[in-house]
Structure formats: C-alpha cells, structure tokens
Chains A and B, each alone.
Chain A
Amino acid sequence: MKASIIASENMEYCEEDGTCLFSELSFRLERGQRGVLLADPHRCATILLKICATLVSPTDGQISWFGQSSDQMDGPGLYKLRRRIGFVHRETSLISNMTILDNISLGLQYHEEMVREQSYDRVTELLKQFELYEYRFLRPAELTFEQRRLAVYARELVKKPQLYLLEHPSLDLGERVYSLLLDVFKTCSIEDGCAFLVASVVPEVINRWGDWVLVFDKGRCHHFEVGQFDPSIYRESMKRRGALLSREWRGE
C-alpha cells in the first residue's frame, strides 16, 4: 500500500504564551486529493501550512510526509523533502537581486547543475504560458503584484512537486489569471497525481479546490467531506461571531 502524501495524528500546536491554536488534529491527504483549510483566525491555517511545509514543528503529535516523519529525517533529508513540496503563502517572495528568469530556474541550476541557458530553455514554456516571457530579465520589484505572484507559482511549478501548499491562491490575481492557474494545477492533479492543501478564509474556495474541508473553530478541528459542508452556514456563523465580538468590544 502506498503511503499518504501527508498524514498527521493528534497534532497540536501551542504558542510560547500557552495559547493552543489547534489540538488533536488528524488528517490524511492522498495522491491527487485536494484539501481545504478554513480558519478564523486565519493564523491556525497559516501555521498548519508551515508545519506541512516543514518550516515549523508541531508542539505535540505526529506528522509524516510520504510515509516518513520528521524525526526520521536529518538536515539534508529535510531539504530533499522540501523539493517535493510547493509552498506559496501570503508572504512568499522572490529573490530580489535576481531576474525573474534566474528566480524561476534557480532550483534547476542548483540541484541539477544545469548551465544557465539550458535551465532557461526548460522554463521558457511556462513563462510564455504565464505571460511573463517579455519580463524575464526584470527584477521582481519591476513587476506588478500579479506578475510577481505568478512568478512565485511558476517557480514552484518548475520543481514539479507532489504536494502543493497554497495560502489564498487567488490573492493578487485577476479572475482570468486565476482561472489559468487553476487549469495548470488541475492538469498537475490529473496527470501527475499532485495533492493540494489550500488555506483560505473564503468558504467558496472549496467549490474549486476541495475534496474535503478542515474547519478550525476555537482551537478545535472539524472534518467535512465536500458534500457535507455548507459554505453559507459557515459564513453565517462567522458573521454572527463577528457581530458578537464587535458587541464585546463596544462593551454591550
């Protein structure tokens, strides 16, 4: 039996001041599956994504990637694993003193010892698809937010990872570009069996991304299959809580 792409068991994350963002969190993401994380506050989802990206360790419980837990991996093993994970969060950035072309082909030049031109050839197709080709020799600061975001996605796509961790995938993207990105990811999912874990505050995102949903609520986690989850109920409950909170602030 093939191991899950990512699996967690009774995972807990508490901050240094003792605040627990979540506890007893168990989930599995299989090949080709797409999971959505809905959270309020959104920090829970961000931390969970960072744990899945190996950048943060859980305070308790187990998490494993491709059947291997982080305890079984040394430094190089961890870096090797990261090459199999594409991670794009709100603050992901490009290297500012490199051109877009160098940013996107960096991994190829470093890991596969490709000469510059050879690595450029490998990424040209993707740059054309993302309409970044004519900006390839510019630095990130010279691009628009949307182009920068697309370049970040392109850099992750070039790695050909088996797991994508995405935070607010529609952030900074127009509808047309977002649809283009969705098509590219759909192809990855169907052809290469890539798995996706997407974090958002917008419940409608599950219509495009989800097979299952994890909803974080007051440090607890609720698991829903996509058919069982009603975005409108979630939205209503969030609204109610927002109203309650604002009343508390006003002292009513």
Chain B
Amino acid sequence: MQAGHYFHVLTGSCGRWFLQKFHRLVDILGFFVVCLKTTLRYRHTGQRLMARTFIQQIYFTGVQSLELICLIALLVGGLVVIQGIAQLTRVGSRNVLASLLTVVIIREVGPLLTAVVVTLRSGSAIAIEMGYMTVLREIESLEMQGIDPLHFLTLPRLVGVTVSVICLIVFFNIVSIFGGFVVAWTLVDVPFWALFSDLAHELNGIDIIVGSVKAFVFGLTIALVCMYHGFRTGEAITNIPPQVSRALVDCFMLCIFFNVLISALFYL
C-alpha cells in the first residue's frame, strides 16, 4: 500500500518536472518564432546600428574568449592522446590514434566544450544584461523610442553568438588536434606528418557537416535561451540571479540533448 503511494508520488513528481521542462521548451521555441517574425518585419531598419552591435558581440564572444578556448583545447587534446596511448598500447593499436582524435574531439568534445565555455562566459553575460535592462526599465525606454527590443537587442546577439560559436568550434578542433599531435610526438615519437595524414584520411565530409550543424544549433540555443530568461526577469532585481542560473542550466541541458540528437541522426 505504502509502496504504491510512494510510486504515485514519484511518478507524479517526474511527470510534473517533465511537463514543466516541456512547457519551457515550447515557450523558448515560441520566443524564437517571434524573434524571426520581428527580424523579417524590421529587416531594413537600423542596419548600421545593428551591424555595430553585431561586431561588438562577435568581439566579446568570439575574440575575447580565444585565449580560454586555446588553453582548454590544448589540454583536452593532450589528455585524449595520453589516455588513447595508454589504452591503445595494451591492444597494440596505436595507429588508430588519429581515428580516436577525430571521433572524440571533432565529433563530440570540441563542439560541446566550446558551447559550455560560451555559455559560461557570454550566455551568462547576455542573461544578466537583459535582466538588468528589464528591471531598470531600459526595455520600456526602448519601446517608447519606437524600437522593438526583440529586433534591436535579440538579432545582433543571436547572429553574433552563432557566428562566434561556429568559428570557436573550428578553432578549438584545430588547436586541440595540434595539442594531441604534440603530446603524441613527444611521448611515443609518432611522426607528426604521419598522424596528420591519418587524420586527413579519417576525417570525412559527414564529420564536417555534423560539426557545422552542431555549432549552428549550439550558438542559436545559447543566445536564445539566455535572451529568453533575461527578458523574463520581471521587476525585482532579486529575480536576476535565479533567472541567470536557470538560463545556464537550460543551455547546458539543451546543448547536451541536441548533441546526442544530432550524433544519433548522423552516425546511427
């Protein structure tokens, strides 16, 4: 009897949690559709101003996080190769190192880690900025200037973050592979050019397409989710921290979800 009660409570809680997440996802999708409609409606308005904001966003998200991405990529590349060598030596298949790098870094770790770094660095900044603008009634001021905030604030950030994430993922992959090669060359004396030719052989068109699709989806997700939560801050300044926290968790969960979904679609 009691076990049945607990089972009901458990399934009820799970159901409510799932419905809540599902509603939020639908809400975010709705927000995306409204943003698209607004973009189309005002496509000829404020182009100069928007271009400036777009460049600022690229500089903040793309250029300023290069150092961090570079460091993480080098370390991750080295780590994958160290683990790869340790495991592959046992089975005597050290020549599949390039294959391992392609699978682990280019297909999975590169896009996901870059998305995490961008979420932590730029996503949080966007959510906080939007939150403050809402609380301080700056959004209302924009509206009274006859400026649609969904166009003026959302579009440059959406495009800026997406373009930056695409470029950062390419950069991450290159640096990471370079890091892996250096470690492999140092530890097991594998010729640099041999690894490079193996990698060129392993890497196919699908990997590049998958990488691009993931980069595009992650960039869009991060910007969209953070903007959405920022706009929903309400009137109290104390709403900003929980809203930012929700934004980051949602970004992370959605990026992992899309990563699995895209990989399953292309590789299964």
Taking a contact as CB atoms under 8 Å apart, the answer to whether A87 and B144 are in contact is yes
Q: Mark B44-55, 1 if CB is under 8 A from A, else 0.
A: 011111000000
Interchain pairs with CB closer than 8 A, number: 67
Q: Which residues of A are found within 8 Å of B140, using beta-carbon distances?
A: 55, 92
Report B142 CB to chain A, min CB distance, Å.
7
CB proximity of A222 to chain B, nearest CB, Å: 29
**In the complex the two chains form, is B141's CB within 8 Å of A92's CB?**
yes
Mark each residue of chain A from 89 to 108: 1 if its CB lies under 8 Å from any CB of chain B, else 0.
Answer: 00111111100000000110
Contact A79:B146 (CB < 8 A) given known A93-B141, A95-B138, A96-B132? yes
Whether a CB of chain A sits under 8 angstroms from the CB of B145 is: yes
- Residue of A79, A85, A93, A113 near B147 (CB, 8 A) is A79
Instruction: Please determine whether B136 and A93 come into contact, CB atoms closer than 8 angstroms.
Output: yes
Partner among A91, A109, A115, A159 whose Cβ is within 8 Å of the Cβ of B46: A109
**B131-158 near A? 1/0 per residue, CB < 8 Å:** 0110011101111111110001000000
Alpha-carbon distance A125/B148, docked complex (angstroms): 28
Select from chain B the residue with minimum beta-carbon distance to A86.
B144
What is the CB-to-nearest-CB distance from B45 to chain A, in angstroms, rounded to a whole number?
7
Q: Is the CB of B143 within 8 A of A55?
A: yes
Count chain B CB atoms within 10 A of each CB in A83, A97, A109, A110 and give the residue with the most: A110
Report how far A96 CA is from B137 CA in the complex, Å.
Answer: 11
The complex places the Cα of A113 from the Cα of B48 at a distance, in Å, of 7
Which listed residue, B41, B133, B143, B145, touches A76 by the CB 8 Å rule?
B41
CB–CB B146/A113 < 8 A = no
Contact A80 B146 (CB under 8 A): yes
> How far, in whole Å, are A155 and B141 apart by their CA atoms in the complex?
10
Q: Are B145 and A110 in contact (CB under 8 A)?
A: yes
- Give the shortest distance, in Å, between B43 (CB) and chain A (any CB): 12
Q: Is A53 an interface residue (CB 8 A)?
A: yes
- Residues in B neighbouring A106, C-beta threshold 8 A: 49, 145, 147
List the B side residues contacting A85 at CB < 8 Å.
Answer: 144
- Does the CB pair B144–A110 fall under 8 Å? no
Shortest beta-carbon distance, A162 to chain B, in Å? 13
**Closest-CB distance, B42 to chain A (whole angstroms):** 8
Using Cβ atoms and an 8 Å threshold, which residues of chain A touch B144? Answer: 53, 55, 82, 85, 87, 92
Q: Which residue of chain A is the closest to B56 with respect to CB atoms?
A: A97
Question: Taking A76-B41, A96-B132, A96-B138 as contacts, is the C-beta distance between A83 and B145 under 8 angstroms?
Answer: yes
A38-81 interface bits toward B, Cβ cutoff 8 Å, 1 = contact, 0 = none: 00000000000000010100000000000000000001100110
A95 touches B47 (CB 8 A): no
Contact A110 to B45, CB < 8 A, known contacts A79-B146, A82-B146: yes
CB distance from A208 to the nearest CB of B (A): 24
Residues of chain B contacted by A75 (CB below 8 angstroms): 41, 148
Asked whether B137 lies within 8 Å of A115 as measured between CB atoms, the reply is no
A76 to B49, CA, bound (A): 19
Q: Across the interface, do B137 and A107 meet the contact criterion of CB distance under 8 Å?
A: no
Contact B142 A95 (CB under 8 A): yes
Return the CB mask of A110-148 against B: 1 if under 8 Å, else 0: 110101000000000000000000000000000000000
Question: Assuming A55-B143, A79-B147, A82-B145, is B138 touching A115 (CB within 8 A)?
Answer: no
Nearest CB to that of B44 among chain A residues? A113
Max chain A CB contacts within 10 Å: which of B45, B49, B143, B148?
A: B49
With A75-B41, A82-B143, A113-B46 given, can you name 16 additional A-B contacts, CB distance below 8 Å? Answer: A79-B143, A79-B146, A85-B144, A87-B144, A93-B136, A93-B138, A95-B133, A96-B136, A106-B147, A107-B147, A109-B48, A110-B152, A111-B45, A111-B146, A113-B45, A155-B145
Name B's A-contacting residues (CB within 8 A).
41-42, 45-49, 129, 132-133, 136-138, 140-148, 152
18 A-B Cβ contacts within 8 A?
A55-B144, A75-B148, A76-B42, A79-B148, A82-B146, A83-B146, A87-B144, A92-B141, A93-B137, A94-B138, A95-B133, A95-B142, A96-B132, A106-B147, A107-B145, A110-B45, A111-B46, A159-B146
